[in-house]
């Protein structure tokens, strides 16, 4: 459960610190660039502190520090092997984040002073240590967006050193307390940076980050009744915020393996950083780079839980050859080229575990009622496969980059006693209004989840529709067909309205007469 007060305090502190860093950088470059230096350095700090904590723990019995062990020719190979096997990478003691900070604020002479080229070398050594190791895929290219030789940082090494030194020091002052964090640190930092300075990236921010409320709702509904999950996936994983959210809502918190796919290179890096920063070992996740619709990187993997917030009504090539893809062949039709929404749904349906697979996906309302090929696919999923469990309509303006209301579809491979019906929930009024964006709070989430669990009719809120009713509606899933939210207006007292009009007319005539009298007295 999110502690709202703690969340606000942590988010406020993070925002203030990021503002200070951004102010140092924004004169030199646009926000789409400077965010990469900030996020990359946050991540480097995390990996560094993780190394220090791990080494401190395993060397405690030997009475040695990491620095002492690394300086010993006999210890060093052992320590390096431990680091690779457990952490997946090596950061030498002199390259630890705290050591970089020390060399900036209190160097031991000029030769010990921080240099941006040393930082670049440290990052390259870290990535280099993973080459040829089992961790290579998890770390490869993670810092590609943090270009420390970029002229935008400064024309000289000294200028770049001065600027990056400021970034490092300010990031060292942020108290992340990751284990106690009330939010996705990297994802939230990304959003704060975009909010601080409007940019083109801000218009597309929803592509990589789902706000806390909807993310929590999706994860909760996808895990109802689950203690653990063998596999969890997100085929448009963005910053991996929803993947990580799923783990929080499992009774035991145990996930065997995480899978994700992301097409944007920068966001793909962010997702892997996020997994590592949240304590998911490199052995327990695979995040792939690529277009999910064109190239399925999952292979034959079947998922216990899948969550997704795909780009809404994405245009795609719709190549007829895709009908040979087992993901799309079942319905016999491809989604229209102008709306790829059902292509993502079909991808997830294909990868559902047959024994207990769950999907929770956010989509535009159009998927509920659009005709043509989408109607064919919708009927195939609802009738032929019988996997649609619930349709939930959410409030408008809950998401970054779009004000449209969206719906949440819950699908299950084994629906047991619910196989003959679909639950419809109209949660469009469940939100806290905001100046720029509405918020889905815990009370709203609880109400929706309770209705999902109870699976019973609730006046003007929920309805359990049997298949005969859905068929009678031509497999149209538009929520108002099933949940009547009409509020009868109070009857109008016409006599009172007529009296008010007469009174207003009389007052108007009296005011005009008074003005005319005053003008007459003035000889006008």
Q: Which two tokens stand for residue 483?
A: 């949940």
Which region holds residue 290: left if phi is over 0, alpha if psi is between -120 and 50, else beta?
left
The rounded mean pLDDT for the chain is: 89
- Band of the pLDDT at 205, cuts 50, 70, 90? very low
| Percent of the chain whose predicted confidence (pLDDT) is above 90 | 70
Nearest CA-CA partner of 273 in 208, 329, 214? 208
When pLDDT is cut at 50, 70 and 90, the band that residue 4 belongs to is: low
CATH 3.40.50.150, domain 206-481, yes or no:
yes
Whether residue 274 is predicted with pLDDT greater than 80 in this model: the reply is yes
pLDDT in tens, 437-482: 899 999 999 999 999 999 999 999 999 999 999 999 999 999 999 9
- Return the CATH class of domain 4-195: mainly alpha
List the one residue out of 4, 2, 23 whose CA is nearest residue 193.
23
Angle between helices 31-58 and 157-172 (to 10 degrees): 60
Mean pLDDT of 348-352: 98
CA–CA distance, 321 with 341 (Å, rounded to integer)? 18
Mean pLDDT to the nearest integer, 407-431? 95
DSSP 149-211: T-GGG-SSHHHHHHHHHHHHHHHHT----GGG-SS-HHHHHHHHHHHHS--HHHHTGGGT---
Concatenating the DSSP letter of every residue in 264-319 gives SHHHHHHHHHHHHHTT--GGGEEEEES-TTT--TTTT--BSEEEE-PPTT------
Per-position DSSP letters for 350-367, written without gaps between them: HTB-TTT-EEEEEEEGGG
3-state secondary structure of 407: strand
What's 231's DSSP letter?
A: E
Give the HSE-up count for residue 485: Cα atoms under 13 Å, Cβ half-sphere: 14
Task: State how far the Cα of 385 lies from the Cα of 331, in Å rounded to an integer.
Answer: 10
Q: What is the pTM of this model?
A: 0.86
Angle between helices 241-248 and 265-277 (to 10 degrees): 30
Where do the structural domains in the chain lie, given as residue ranges? 4-195, 206-481, 493-524
Q: Report CA torsion sign: 34, 40, 46, 48.
A: negative
Identify each DSSP E strand in 320-453 by its residue range: 358-364, 388-393, 406-412, 421-426
Half-sphere exposure (CA, 13 Å, Cβ side) for 281? 13
Q: How confident is the model at residue 137 (pLDDT cuts 50, 70, 90)?
A: very high
Rounded Cα–Cα distance for residues 524 and 304 (Å): 87
């Amino acid at each position: 459960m999110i502690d709202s007060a703690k969340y606000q305090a942590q988010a406020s502190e993070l925002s203030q610190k990021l503002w200070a860093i951004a102010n140092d950088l924004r004169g030199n470059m646009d926000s789409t660039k400077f965010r990469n230096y900030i996020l990359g350095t946050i991540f480097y700090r995390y990996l560094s502190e993780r190394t220090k904590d791990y080494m401190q723990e395993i060397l405690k019995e030997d009475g040695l520090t990491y620095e002492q062990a690394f300086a010993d020719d006999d210890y060093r190979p052992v320590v390096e092997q431990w680091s690779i096997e457990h952490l997946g990478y090596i950061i030498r003691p002199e390259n630890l984040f705290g050591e970089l900070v020390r060399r900036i604020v209190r160097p031991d002479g000029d030769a010990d002073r921080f240099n941006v080229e040393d930082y670049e070398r440290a990052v390259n050594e870290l990535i280099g240590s993973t080459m040829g190791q089992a961790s290579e895929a998890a770390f490869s290219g993670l810092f590609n967006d943090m270009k420390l030789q970029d002229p935008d940082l400064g024309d000289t090494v000294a200028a770049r050193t001065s600027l990056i030194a400021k970034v490092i020091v300010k990031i060292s002052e942020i108290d992340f307390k990751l284990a106690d964090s009330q939010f996705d640190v990297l994802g939230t930092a990304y959003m704060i940076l975009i909010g601080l300075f409007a940019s083109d990236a801000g218009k597309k921010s929803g592509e990589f980050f789902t706000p806390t409320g909807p993310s929590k709702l999706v994860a909760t509904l996808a895990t109802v009744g689950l203690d653990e999950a063998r596999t969890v996936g997100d085929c448009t994983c963005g910053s991996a915020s929803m993947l990580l959210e799923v783990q929080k809502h499992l009774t035991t918190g145990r996930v065997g393996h995480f899978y994700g796919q992301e097409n944007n290179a920068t966001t793909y890096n962010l997702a892997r950083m996020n997994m590592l920063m949240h304590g998911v070992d490199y052995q327990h996740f695979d995040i792939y780079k690529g277009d999910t619709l064109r190239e399925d990187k999952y292979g034959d993997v079947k998922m216990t839980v899948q969550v997704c917030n795909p780009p809404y009504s994405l245009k795609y090539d719709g190549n007829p050859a895709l009908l040979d893809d087992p993901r799309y062949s079942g319905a016999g039709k491809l989604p229209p080229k102008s709306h790829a929404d059902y292509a993502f749904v079909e991808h997830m349906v294909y990868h559902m575990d047959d024994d207990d697979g769950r999907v929770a996906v956010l989509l535009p309302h159009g998927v509920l009622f659009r005709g043509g090929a989408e109607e064919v696919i919708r009927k195939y999923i609802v009738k032929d496969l019988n996997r649609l469990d619930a349709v939930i309509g959410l409030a408008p303006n809950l998401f970054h980059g779009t004000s449209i209301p969206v719906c949440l579809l819950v699908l299950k491979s084994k629906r047991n006693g619910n196989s003959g019906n679909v639950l419809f929930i109209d949660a469009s009024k469940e939100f806290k209004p905001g100046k720029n964006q509405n918020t889905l709070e815990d009370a709203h989430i609880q109400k929706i989840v309770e209705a999902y669990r109870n699976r019973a009719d609730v006046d003007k809120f929920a309805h359990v529709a049997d298949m005969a009713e859905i068929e009678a509606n031509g497999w149209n899933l538009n929520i108002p067909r099933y949940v009547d939210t009409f509020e009868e207006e109070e009857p109008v007292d016409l006599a009172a309205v007529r009296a008010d009009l007469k009174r207003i007319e009389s007052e108007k005539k009296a005011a005009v007469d008074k003005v005319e009298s005053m003008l007459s007295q003035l000889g006008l």
